[in-house]
Structure 1
Amino acid sequence: MNNNRFEGKVCIVTGAAQGIGEGVARAIAKEGGMMVLADRSELVYQVANELESNGSQVLVVTSDLESFGGAKSVVDKAVEHFGRVDVAIHNVGGTIWAKPFEQYQEDEIIKEINRSLYPTLWGCRAVLPQMISQGGGSIVNISSIATRGVNRIPYSAAKGGVNAITVSLAMEHASENIRVNAIATGGTEAPPRKIPRNSNPMTEDEKVWYQQIVDQTIDSTLMKRYGTIEEQVNAILFLASDEASYITGTILPVGGGDKGMGA
């Protein structure tokens, strides 16, 4: 494998403060990428400081990526600092509640869509003009096999939207040398979140409903286990890199054989 796939490339990674986003940022930096780390949490500076101490060029942008203004500020600052954007990996999202659909309140449904659809929608809209003007680029959106699953219907709807955005954008912009792909992540083992998506402790019912998600995920997965962050990162980096130069409009399930609705 080429260990310098991102040498000289300017790479935006959103949601870079923790989890898969942090893993992607560390891996791309290790392969020579110039990093633009975006997150609304100040914790992203800890990741940036570590990467800089290892010799990487890093720009941090703290922004609310649920808004177009926030997404555009990331691209604007990236271009101002580095002059271009070669890779954009849109990673922000994640289910906030775990419950049957009839238990969701209106404001909770709106918050789920805002969290898991808009950061990718706005991120793509913000970076496209720059990639068009410079003659190409690679976008990788992070979706989920949970487009088919239980107890998180609003999240499933949002990730179904991410899949539609990905395929349609690939069709619109292939002639401009812009590749657009997505990874549909499966259940992934990760350290406890530094900032929880839901600050309220789960009720007893919510614990049962969440366990149903875990059980359904493992049951649907041929390998009968959760994946690792590294296994997700490896797939993301492949699609983002020139090794996938003839791949676009593809949603790659990385779920141990559970394809969700991504195949």
Structure 2
Amino acid sequence: MTVASTAHPNHNPAPVTIEARRLDGKTIFITGASSGIGAAAARRFVAEGADVVVGARRIDRLESLVDELTSEGGNALAVHLDVTDEASVAKAVQDTVERFGRLDGAVNNAALSGAGAPIVDTDSDYVRQVFDVNLMGVYFSLKYEIPAMLATGGGSIVNVSSVGGIIGMPNISEYIASKWGVIGMTKSVALEYGGAGVRVNAIAPGSTKTDMYDAWLPTPEAQAKVAAYSPMNQIALPDDMARVALFLLSEESRWTNGTVIAADGGQHVGCF
């Protein structure tokens, strides 16, 4: 369907076309896809016409997800992926291109939660692991996704940060620092490759009902307390984040680059 434009006639705009499916013909690679936001993104993207490659360490879960997606008529591939291992990331991107011939978009979602302790009580080895997954994992992903996208004219990358990447929170300082790092990397790389056709943006989820969230807050009382940090007084669903990522991967966001969308129900505006 084509919608008439009301722009000034001297601008000579192209007709505005509303696509039935926003990711038709695109191949999207997702890290941390065995559950939560990553799995929800795979389902959402397939429904929008994409071929998807889902990567994570839990290959059994990925294979079940792929079976689900293909049974519904989608095209999907599961790849074993450890984002802390550069060779593993490189191979996953290579497998994506070999299977589907191109890479148009990526959601870099793999993450570990914080230790839940004041900084003086944290285990240094675990803190390094958080940085390896949350920050180095995004670095490795960008390093290999971008050349694959440049080979076919560009693409769009969504890095999953956190509301903790734009504010501070006590007792998870290593997680917060890693997610601030994701945003800094996002903005810098957007400057490096925007002119070549690769857009890089981030989303900053607030409290979202995932396995990680349930492990961090195992009781209904704890979850209710955290939900109250948002003026909406709710916990988001993983698909809420998938919908934001969908926008950033689609042509609807063609002029969005180097930005961070706080998908947190307003938590970051100061409701603690």
TM-score (norm 2): 0.84
Alpha-carbon offset, residue 218 of structure 1: 3.8
Specify every segment of 5 or more residues in structure 2 that has no aligned partner in the other structure, as ranges. 1-17
Alpha-carbon offset, residue 63 of structure 1: 1.9
The Cα offsets for residues 194-235 of structure 1, whole Å up to 9 and x where unpaired, read as xx998xxx9xxx989x95x974x4454222222122211111
TM-score (norm 1): 0.87
Query: Runs ≥4 in structure 1, deviation > 6 angstroms?
Result: none
Q: 2:255 aligns with which of 225, 246, 249?
A: 246
Asked if 1:82 corresponds to 2:82, the answer is no
Alpha-carbon offset, residue 91 of structure 1: 0.6
Q: 1:214 to 1:37 in 2, by over 3 A?
A: same
**Residues paired across the two proteins, number:** 249
The Cα offsets for residues 23-82 of structure 1, whole Å up to 9 and x where unpaired, read as 000010111101111111121100001111111111211121112111111111111111
Specify every segment of 5 or more residues in structure 1 that has no aligned partner in the other structure, as ranges. none
The Cα offsets for residues 8-31 of structure 1, whole Å up to 9 and x where unpaired, read as 101101111100100000010111
Q: Which residue of 2 aligns with 1:258?
A: 267
Identity over aligned pairs, percent: 29
Residues 93 and 115 in structure 1, CA contact (< 8 A), matched pair in contact too: yes
Asked if 1:16 corresponds to 2:36, the answer is no
Q: How does 1:83-162 map to 2 (within 5 A)?
A: 83-147=101-165, 148-162=168-182
AA partner of residue 36 (structure 2): G
Distance 1:11 1:3 in 2: 18
AA partner of residue 26 (structure 1): R
Q: How does 1:2-81 map to 2 (within 5 A)?
A: 2-42=19-59, 43-81=61-99
